[in-house]
Structure 1
Amino acid sequence: MAGWKDARLPETLTSAQVAALLAGCDRSTSAGLRDFAMLCLLGRLGLRSGEVAALRLDDIDWRAGELLVRGKARREDRLPLIVEVGEALAAYLRGGRPVSFRKQWRPPFIYQRADIEMLMAHAVQVIRDPLRAASYHTLIGLLAATGMRVGEALRLHRSDIDWDDGVITVLASKFGKPRELPLTASTMQALARYAEHRDHAQPRPSTPTFFVSTAGTAVRYPHFGAQFRRLVNATGVGATSPTRPRIHDLRHSFAVHTLIAWYQAGHDVNAMLPRLSIYLGHRDPVSTYWYPSAAPDLLALAAARLQAVQEARS
């Protein structure tokens, strides 16, 4: 290989060495169960360390005996979950994984249209860099109009937008299930305006993502999230609400307003829920049934707020 000295294949561990590593894990402790499960994934399935670290609970399909692995270049593979690895993961989940420290479920903040317009307008007013302002302004609008997850919007590629048919294809989704999102004409026009602004400010970005930073790289979640919180605080959106507005609540708001519109139109909401489930990219309709069944008071509150806004405008 030109320019490479002493190039050779990397050394590998023998089967005996792998077995010795596994045997060295003290599975009477939580840390030992964790280490044993991780080493099984590395040594028995050949996963990269980053793939092991990124593994989610939903990536394990116990019924099918498969493991969803998200690798380089957005590639996704399904590997057979061999017995030894499956038993190691199950043992860790039963006796080694810490109990979730997530707080008790709280109802999401439901953004109204005026809230969204205020956040978008303030982004343009206070963010000094024109491209960053345009990126955050358009991102907020896209999240509110589609209910996309924040990560899905940030990972969106230019080629994922069908300008002719007005459709976005979400490829890098939470559960590895690609889906198509038809958009309204106004949303497509907003995306087109941003694309024109972006191409003028960054004609040769280093990333294929649709949204780009001032450096020509992909917009990062921590930066966008921090700016969103500053916008919420500065505008006073949700200041009197017992529930603090979060960026992910844009997704909940889209779902709730969709359901309210269906109720007001007299549709059979229960029959239409699977459609909303597919649009939101839920793994199964059970996750979507949460909205009307687990939070009826939330729906009533949102409906009342929407009605009040409509009466004030009329």
Structure 2
Amino acid sequence: MRAFLKFLDRDDLQDALDLANAKRHHGIFPTLGDEDEQTVLRAGTGGLVAARDAAITLLALVTGLRACDLIALRLGDINWRESTIGIVQQKTGNPLTLPLLPAIADRLAEYVLTERPDVGNDHVFLRSVAPHTEFSDHSSIYDVTRRTFSAAGTDCPKVGTRLLRHNAATRLLRAGTPLPTISAVLGHSGPDSTNAYLSTDTEHMRACVLPLPPALQQGAGR
């Protein structure tokens, strides 16, 4: 557009175009469709993947935990009696307590009791082959979620914890959860990070659209 106005030698219109240029602070976050989400949940709870991989994927999908927090999760962080997980977030240093839902607790307990290597490392999630240490980086968590999505038969190009975190935030937002609560659940240090997810709530955004003036409505029907 600017090149065309320059060709017309209309500097005045170029200035107006510059004034009308709105800054884009956030993109629209990708999320899972409802069907894909249910498919992944069924794969995680139905035994299609190893208990460790299922627990990691379900935790990321339901709670929105970051990959770094999944890697750092310790056995002592799980309160089985109270059905909660309490951590200090790696990114912000803030404490965070999350509910441990029964479906996730079942797969997590199955992993700890039957799959997890019996070693002196108190990280919850360990490598399944020697040396049985905690995961070294985010790519290991990505590989886990990718295997779960593959077993579920879900065709999604980006299946890391970032996508699952976006999905958790979007689900809470569409359920009418207040932004401060979502911010607390996701462990955001400030409200700006949570506000970015407003772009994913298409249903409520449609309710904010103003109706067309009568003259334009008549023109639209021609």
Tell me the TM-score normalized by structure 1.
0.49
Equivalent residue letter for 1:144: L
Specify whether residues 162 and 256 from structure 1 end up closer, same or farther in structure 2 by C-alpha distance, changes over 3 A only.
same
1:238 Cα shift?
4.1
Pairing 1:217–2:118 present: no
* Paired residues of 1:232 and 1:245 also in contact (CA < 8 A): no
Q: In the alignment, which of 253, 256, 263 is matched to residue 170 of structure 2?
A: 256
Q: In the alignment, which of 272, 276, 283 is matched to residue 182 of structure 2?
A: 276
1:245 Cα shift?
2.9
Pairing 1:300–2:202 present: yes
Pairing 1:139–2:56 present: yes
Distance 2:204 2:166 in 1: 11
Matched ranges for 1:110-189 at <5 A: 110-112=32-34, 113-117=37-41, 120=44, 124=48, 133-189=50-106
Distance 2:67 2:106 in 1: 20
Equivalent residue letter for 1:246: V
Distance 2:155 2:181 in 1: 30
Specify whether residues 160 and 230 from structure 1 end up closer, same or farther in structure 2 by C-alpha distance, changes over 3 A only.
closer
Distance 1:121 1:180 in 2: 23
Equivalent residue letter for 2:122: P
Distance 2:30 2:203 in 1: 12
* Paired residues of 1:115 and 1:237 also in contact (CA < 8 A): yes
* Paired residues of 2:179 and 2:195 also in contact (CA < 8 A): yes
CA deviation string 1:259-278 (max 9, x = no partner): 1122xxxxxx5xx2111111
Equivalent residue letter for 2:126: V
Specify whether residues 146 and 234 from structure 1 end up closer, same or farther in structure 2 by C-alpha distance, changes over 3 A only.
closer
Specify whether residues 161 and 233 from structure 1 end up closer, same or farther in structure 2 by C-alpha distance, changes over 3 A only.
closer
RMSD: 2.9
Q: In the alignment, which of 159, 172, 177 is matched to residue 246 of structure 1?
A: 159
Deviates more, 1:178-187 or 1:156-165: 178-187
* Paired residues of 1:177 and 1:281 also in contact (CA < 8 A): yes
Higher relative contact order at CA 8 Å, sep ≥6: structure 1 or structure 2? 2
Corresponding residue number in structure 1 for 2:121 = 207
Corresponding residue number in structure 2 for 1:107 = 29
Distance 2:165 2:94 in 1: 18
Tell me the TM-score normalized by structure 2.
0.66
Distance 2:32 2:202 in 1: 12
Distance 1:256 1:124 in 2: 26
Distance 2:93 2:166 in 1: 20
Q: Which 5+ residue runs of structure 2 have no aligned equivalent?
A: 1-25, 206-222
Distance 2:81 2:148 in 1: 34
1:147 Cα shift?
0.9
* Paired residues of 1:157 and 1:209 also in contact (CA < 8 A): yes
Distance 1:120 1:183 in 2: 15
CA deviation string 1:199-257 (max 9, x = no partner): 5xx22x24210111123211343233234335545755245xxxx43311101111111
1:190 Cα shift?
2.7
* Paired residues of 2:48 and 2:152 also in contact (CA < 8 A): no
Distance 1:274 1:251 in 2: 16
